[in-house]
């Protein structure tokens, strides 16, 4: 896996505790588990695709709710997860670029590994709100890229982090992230036995159909089967701990498939993801939900289930819990810089149509991303293109320029091969979606218009390196300890000196022993640890 920014990594895994309201009964605390998966479209039996057997995910669907119209805000990991973990559009956070400063790896830029794209305005990650309410939060990170998580965000971050280390009966919020279906696993798991016959896999019309193409598609489906085994292990562990019926389970992915012309795109296939939610005691088991949901709604929904109002800076809307918001009529998405390739594309869709605006129509649709060329399927597509052996549909990806606007009827043209933007019958819906796009760009302060170097200056207050979070200060008034930090957006953590457990500071506290205090704004360097006696 390539390294990703910290907002991406922070969003990899969560478990949380929630408060579920029951009519006529006192509120009852329960737990929340996120099973986060990488690079996977709804290629599951619950969504009508039974190419490969997934009995454990099928179980979640049979015992839970299947959400049919769920979309991420980007077709690639870091921007999508930036939005998920903040509950805001990445284009408002200046987290829309995948990589930054013209380099692929942070270590090649001279930046600290904690560097990430953070907004010029104040934004806090929603796990902080849960920790502040006393929930045990654990982030089970499985990645080759090591980083220092702010102490105010997670109780523990590691490959072994889970709910078992919490205090007895303490509600929890945990995220477990599986990379099994990540695009890299198409070549990294190539020696693993295939679990599906390549001759039976579906091949979309924009792919050539040959043995190499089918093999990699079959490899992706086989990886889904291996993922299902891992989901089964998680469910077994919950049952062993007598927690299955005390935990709300979210199963979701960060964006669409890691296969070519899916990942990194804002077409529906790059944004459409599965979301399955299993409630304790199989509440609403076997039902389906057709509401339009954006992945930025996940955080507000967890907070709502925990009895917490959606923070004012979040664009997301809760779709469950005490503070459930209005239903969505539109879903928005974005594509910007990806590794070495620059672009700016924005998308809005309703259930029937998708409108796409290309801000750089003079640039090709295909992004020449070197990382992707490690997939045999990508190399084979490029070989056939260069040999002139792709048909019209298969060569669509390689047009030298893009249309300024695109409009697709998702019901009649599910593969989005026919741009109907100039058809007379499309005029009314085109005007509607244009208006919604213009409104969204203004209301959310889309920062894709700002050159990258200027964004860096904004994030770092005009400096050439990340600012250092101001040291926290403390004073005693009326028998309580008041802690402050001058850095806007910083979180403050404290612990008794000599102990390991950090707490999130939210209000004045009683302090009878020496305390260690630290402040950290994500994207900045942390403050020094200050001892208060």
Look at residue 100 and tell me if it is in a domain.
Answer: yes
Do 306 and 351 lie in one domain? The reply is no
Total structural domains within the chain? 3
Domain annotation covers residue 122: yes
For residue 196, is it within any domain?
no
Indicate if 347 and 385 belong to the same structural domain.
Answer: yes
Indicate if 123 and 158 belong to the same structural domain.
yes
DSSP assignment string, 211-257 = HHHHHHHHHHHHHHHHHHHHHHHHHHHHHHTT-GGGEEEEEEESSS-
User: Which of 405, 426, 459 lies at the terminal end of a domain, its last residue?
Assistant: 459
Q: Is residue 228 part of a domain?
A: no
77 is annotated as an active-site residue? yes
Cβ-based neighbour number of residue 385 at 10 Å: 16
**489-516: pLDDT as tens digits:** 899 999 999 898 899 999 999 888 899 9
Same domain, 380 and 477: no
Per residue in 81-136, pLDDT tens?
999 999 999 999 888 998 876 443 333 333 333 333 444 445 678 899 999 888 99
Are 406 and 506 within one domain?
no
47 & 147 share domain: yes
Classify residue 235: in a domain, yes or no.
no
Question: Residue 294: enclosing H or E segment and its boundaries?
Answer: strand 287-294
Domain-terminating residue out of 290, 309, 329: 329
Instruction: Indicate whether 314 and 420 sit together in one domain.
Output: no
Strand partners, 483: 474
The DSSP bridge partners found for residue 357 are 346, 405
Q: Within this chain, do residues 98 and 135 fall inside the same structural domain, yes or no?
A: yes
The whole-model pTM stands at: 0.90
Within this chain, do residues 394 and 281 fall inside the same structural domain, yes or no? no
Domain membership of residue 1 (yes or no) is: no
Say if CB 305 and CB 18 are below 8 A apart.
yes
Choose the final residue of a domain: 400, 430, 459.
459
Q: Whole-angstrom Cα distance, residue 12 to residue 15? A: 11
pLDDT per position in the chain (533 positions), as tens?
A: 333 333 333 333 333 333 333 333 335 678 999 999 999 999 999 999 999 999 999 999 999 999 999 999 999 999 999 999 999 999 998 889 988 764 433 333 333 333 334 444 456 788 999 998 889 999 987 665 555 678 889 999 888 899 999 998 899 999 999 999 999 999 999 999 999 999 999 999 999 999 999 999 999 999 999 999 999 999 999 999 999 999 999 999 999 999 999 999 999 999 999 999 999 999 999 999 999 999 999 999 999 999 999 999 999 999 999 999 999 999 999 999 999 899 999 999 999 999 999 999 999 999 999 999 999 999 999 999 999 999 999 999 999 999 999 999 999 999 999 999 999 999 999 999 999 999 999 999 999 999 888 888 888 888 888 899 999 999 999 889 999 999 988 999 999 998 988 999 999 998 888 999 999 988 889 999 999 98
Task: Please identify which of the residues 7, 18, 77, 295 carries the catalytic annotation.
Answer: 77
Give a yes or no: residue 382 inside a domain: yes
The range of the structural domain enclosing residue 416 comes to 335-459
Same domain, 299 and 429: no
Is 374 in the same domain as 516?
Answer: no
């Amino acid at each position: 896996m390539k390294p990703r920014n910290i907002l991406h990594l922070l969003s990899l895994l969560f478990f949380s505790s929630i408060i579920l309201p029951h009519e006529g009964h006192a509120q009852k605390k329960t737990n929340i588990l996120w099973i986060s998966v990488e690079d996977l479209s709804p290629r599951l039996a619950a969504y009508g695709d039974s190419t490969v057997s997934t009995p454990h995910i099928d179980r979640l669907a049979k015992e839970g709710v299947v959400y049919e119209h769920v979309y991420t805000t980007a077709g690639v990991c870091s921007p999508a997860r930036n939005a998920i973990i903040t509950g805001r559009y990445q284009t408002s956070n200046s987290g829309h670029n995948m990589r930054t400063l013209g380099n692929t790896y942070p270590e090649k830029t001279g930046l600290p590994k904690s560097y990430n794209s953070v907004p010029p305005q104040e934004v806090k990650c929603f796990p902080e709100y849960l920790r502040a309410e006393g929930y045990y939060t654990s982030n089970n990170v499985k990645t080759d890229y090591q980083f220092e998580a702010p102490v105010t965000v997670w109780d523990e971050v590691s490959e072994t982090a889970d709910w078992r280390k919490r205090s007895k009966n303490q509600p929890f919020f945990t995220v477990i992230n599986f990379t099994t279906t990540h695009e890299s696993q198409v070549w990294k798991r190539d020696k693993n036995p295939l679990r599906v016959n390549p001759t039976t896999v579906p091949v979309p019309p924009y792919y050539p159909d040959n043995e190499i193409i089918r093999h990699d598609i079959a490899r992706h489906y086989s990886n889904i089967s291996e993922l299902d085994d891992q989901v089964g292990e998680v469910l077994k562990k919950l049952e062993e701990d007598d927690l299955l019926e005390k935990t709300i389970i979210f199963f979701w992915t960060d964006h669409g498939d890691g296969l070519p012309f899916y990942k990194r795109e804002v077409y529906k296939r790059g944004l459409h993801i599965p979301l399955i939610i299993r409630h304790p005691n199989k509440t609403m088991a076997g039902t389906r939900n057709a509401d339009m949901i954006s992945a930025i709604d996940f955080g507000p929904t967890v907070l709502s289930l925990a009895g917490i109002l959606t923070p004012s800076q979040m664009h997301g809307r809760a779709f469950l819990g005490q503070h459930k918001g209005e239903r969505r009529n539109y879903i928005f998405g974005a594509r910007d810089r990806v590794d070495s390739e620059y672009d700016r594309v924005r998308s809005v869709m309703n259930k029937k149509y998708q409108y796409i605006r290309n801000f750089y129509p003079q640039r090709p649709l295909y992004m020449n991303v070197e990382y992707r060329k490690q997939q045999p399927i990508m190399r084979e597509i490029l070989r056939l293109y260069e040999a002139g052996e792709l048909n019209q549909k298969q060569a669509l990806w390689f047009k030298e320029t893009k249309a300024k606007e695109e409009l697709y009827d998702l019901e009649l043209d599910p593969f989005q091969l026919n741009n109907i933007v100039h058809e007379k019958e499309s005029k009314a819906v085109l005007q509607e979606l244009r208006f919604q796009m213009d409104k969204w760009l203004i209301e959310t302060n889309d920062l894709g218009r700002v050159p990258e170097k200027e964004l860096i200056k904004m994030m770092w207050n005009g400096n050439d390196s990340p600012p250092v979070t101001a040291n926290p200060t403390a004073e005693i008034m009326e028998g309580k300890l008041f802690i402050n930090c001058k850095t806007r957006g910083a979180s403050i953590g404290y612990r008794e000196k000599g102990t390991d457990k950090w707490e999130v500071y939210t209000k004045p506290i009683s302090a009878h022993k020496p305390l260690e205090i630290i402040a950290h704004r994500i994207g900045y360097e942390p403050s020094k640890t200050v001892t208060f006696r």
